[in-house]
Amino acid sequence: MQSSYRFWPFAAICIQLWCGIALVAPGRSVWSADDNAAPQQIKFTDKVPYGLQPVDYLGKVTTNAGQRLNDRLEKGTLELEYRQKSGYLRALLDALEVPAESQLLVFSKTALNQKLVQPRNPRAVYFNDEVTIGWVPGAASIELTAIDPLKGPIFYTLLQSPEKPPRLQRESRCLACHAGTTTLQVPGLMVRSFLTDKTGKPIVGYSRTTHDSELRKRWGGWYVTGTHGTQTHTGNIFGEKEIARQREHPAFRGNLTDLSPFISVGDYETPHSDIVAHLVLDHQMHGLNLLHRAGHESRLNRRSDVEERLIRYLLFVDEPPLTAEVRGTSGYARRFAAQTPRDARGRSLREFDLKTRLFKYRLSYLIYTPSFDGLPGAVKGRLYRRLWDILIGKDESPDFNTIPAAERAAIIAIVRATKDDLPEYWRR
């Protein structure tokens, strides 16, 4: 559940969350359990001790795109070009296959480099299914998060200096904010929405934005480019006078397609902060957190209702409808939808709707990510069974009856053609 609150000072938040992290020394286990023992029943809001084996979050062994990039740099099979204005940013995007079209610009002071980030100098965020990159003009380092299928997101920084060989440095300090209530009590990723003063300092807003959030509550502290009809959001607003104006006239600064009055667009990889990329990021970040929470619980022999929450999320059960067509400005939608896999008829779970909802077919593309594929077998088995029962109509819950029969049949056909690890009953 997203929450609304007045913004606390950053240091206070970090202290509170850091004190509550459930970690032990890397590689150490302080509990033992029979493999056949019934899982401990916990609440979805309970903390998960992700520092224990077999998750061992702080352990050195990790499998993710950041580690693979570091290995290539160490072996000399990859070199990163340094550019005067953006440092290693472009080289990182290319090496990790992160599209520049995914660029989103955030001016709220809710991350590193708070002194630099402001409405005139926003932080740029780029992402794909496995990697998120954060870059601020003038910052000493680039921030990078890469997904480990077992551990979840691993946090790194890359020093912006051409005088030293580029290497990613793993950062545990990020857990002070990236392992709390907002991320479901496991290491995770966040999209927040805070209205700010004219300097970018957060005033009031929402600590978690997902695809379940109404548009009118999204994107405070972010720039948003694109058209969305009469629908409203809180992006592109900073300063008390502008906040007051937007409350009187909710369409103020909506349907914005040009950011040049606010920032030096030439300083960034693109002049956009695309609304479609915003919608995808909102969906993806919370979905990945749910996947990692489910995996951690299973590996640590615990059980909450996270799997049912995950099913609802993967099927977009609680997604509020769009009331007008949404169009981006950067070409992100075209690039995202062009990705595979597809069935024999060319259909894909990445196809957009953008008129009444985000995607044409209401089963998330997150089932193709390493985070889903890396789930424990028992968890995947239960998820596949629930999805199957819902899609064939065996589960007659009203919550799932909103998906028409034709769309269900299309989803089944797409998944059959594009997933290799399906149970036999899916094939029949």
pLDDT for 428? 84
pLDDT tens, position by position, 363-376: 999 999 999 999 99
For the full predicted model, state whether its pTM sits above 0.85: yes
Q: Which of 283, 272, 308 is nearest to 124 (CA)?
A: 272
Rounded average pLDDT over 23-39: 51
User: What per-residue confidence (pLDDT) applies to 111?
Assistant: 85
What tens digit of pLDDT does each residue of 114-144 get? 999 999 999 999 999 999 999 999 999 999 9
Instruction: Count the neighbouring beta carbons within 10 Å of the beta carbon of residue 79.
Output: 12
Tens of pLDDT, residue by residue over 85-109, are: 999 999 999 999 999 999 999 999 9
Q: Write down the pLDDT at residue 36.
A: 67
Whether the per-residue pLDDT at 2 is higher than 50: the answer is: no
Residue 54 exposure: Cα atoms within 13 Å on the Cβ side: 12
- Residue 307: pLDDT band with limits 50, 70, 90: very high
Assign 304 a pLDDT band (cuts: 50, 70, 90): very high
Residue 112 is predicted with a pLDDT of: 84
User: What's the confidence (pLDDT) of residue 341?
Assistant: 97
Structure confidence at residue 23 (pLDDT):
44
Q: What is the mean pLDDT of residues 252-274?
A: 98
Q: Which is it for strands 104-106 and 40-41: parallel, antiparallel or unpaired?
A: unpaired
Q: Cβ neighbours of residue 338 under 8 Å, at least 6 residues apart? A: none
pLDDT in tens, 226-241: 999 999 999 999 999 9
Query: For position 12, what pLDDT does the model report?
Result: 35
